[in-house]
């Protein structure tokens, strides 16, 4: 298994190591987020080979981020070095989980990476599109997780009430994502996924009101799929 997963790793690392170091911090961070989003999507879809490949690139790109001078607010933040170390540790733990084919846990581990970055940027009012996507994901994921519970328990009135509240919050946060997307919003892959997400929001309204668990679960799955398609589109756009 290790042999299969290691195919092409040396080439990928060599390519990343030759990337120009003169790029500014923001460019380096965006370059790192490209394989990060790709790894999130691949792990969500159960693709171990692609997840491993993307994590190798992410590790190399994150090393380049750490070699750039951060903005003064981060440079003067005593917690920034710890955040850098936390990101590196998350990447390494994720790689080990992929090696043993535990993609579900690898995906959960990777989710923590953007929370680290969102926390540190939020302290300095430096939020970017990635952070607004993180905020949206929280409400979206609450709906998806609770809806998926119907296979194990009978959803109660309180569950539908919570999902209805989460949907309202998700819509507000989604409006922020669309506003902050800027030129990205018109890109074909992003635009298509965004339309599906908006449609999934609308599709959740009636079954939530009717407390129709099966239809809520179906709509929540469409919402989650659309969101991961959005991340895949963002990764492709940032490669260009």
Together in a domain, 40 and 68: yes
Together in a domain, 38 and 138: no
Residues above pLDDT 90, as percent of the chain: 78
Q: Which contacts of 125-132 are long-range, i.e. CB under 8 A and separated by 24 or more positions? A: 126/71, 126/73, 126/74, 128/180, 129/177, 129/180, 129/181, 129/182, 129/184, 130/33, 132/173, 132/176, 132/177, 132/180
Together in a domain, 34 and 134: no
Q: What is the pLDDT of residues 126-185, one digit of tens each?
A: 999 999 999 999 999 999 988 887 666 788 999 999 999 999 999 999 999 999 999 888
Say yes or no to pLDDT of 209 above 60: yes
Range of the domain at 100: 2-123
Strand (E) positions, 6-142? none
Residue 167's domain is classified under what CATH number?
A: 1.20.120
Together in a domain, 34 and 99: yes
Q: What is the pTM of this model?
A: 0.85
Looking at residue 148, its pLDDT comes to: 84
Together in a domain, 135 and 59: no
Say yes or no to pLDDT of 94 above 80: yes
Task: Give the residue from 84, 99, 123 where a domain finishes.
Answer: 123
């Amino acid at each position: 298994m290790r042999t299969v997963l290691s195919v092409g790793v040396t080439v990928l690392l060599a390519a990343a190591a030759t990337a120009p170091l003169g790029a500014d911090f923001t460019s380096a961070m965006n370059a790192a987020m490209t394989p990060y989003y790709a790894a999130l999507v691949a792990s969500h879809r159960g693709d171990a080979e692609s997840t491993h490949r993307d994590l190798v690139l992410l590790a190399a790109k994150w090393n380049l981020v750490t070699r750039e001078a951060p903005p003064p607010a981060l440079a003067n933040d005593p917690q920034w070095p710890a955040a850098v170390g936390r990101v590196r540790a998350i990447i390494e733990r994720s790689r080990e989980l992929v090696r043993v084919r535990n993609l579900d846990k690898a995906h959960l581990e990777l989710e923590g990476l953007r929370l680290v970055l969102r926390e540190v940027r939020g302290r300095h009012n430096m939020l970017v599109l990635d952070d607004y996507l993180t905020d949206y994901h929280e409400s979206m994921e609450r709906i998806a997780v609770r809806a998926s519970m119907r296979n194990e328990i009978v959803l109660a009135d309180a569950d539908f009430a919570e999902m209805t509240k989460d949907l309202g919050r998700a819509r507000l946060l989604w409006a922020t994502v669309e506003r902050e997307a800027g030129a990205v919003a018109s890109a074909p892959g992003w635009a298509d996924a965004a339309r599906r997400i908006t449609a999934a929001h609308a599709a959740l309204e009636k079954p939530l009101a009717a407390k129709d668990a099966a239809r809520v679960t179906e709509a929540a799955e469409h919402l989650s799929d659309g969101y991961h398609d959005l991340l895949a589109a963002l990764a492709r756009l940032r490669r260009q």
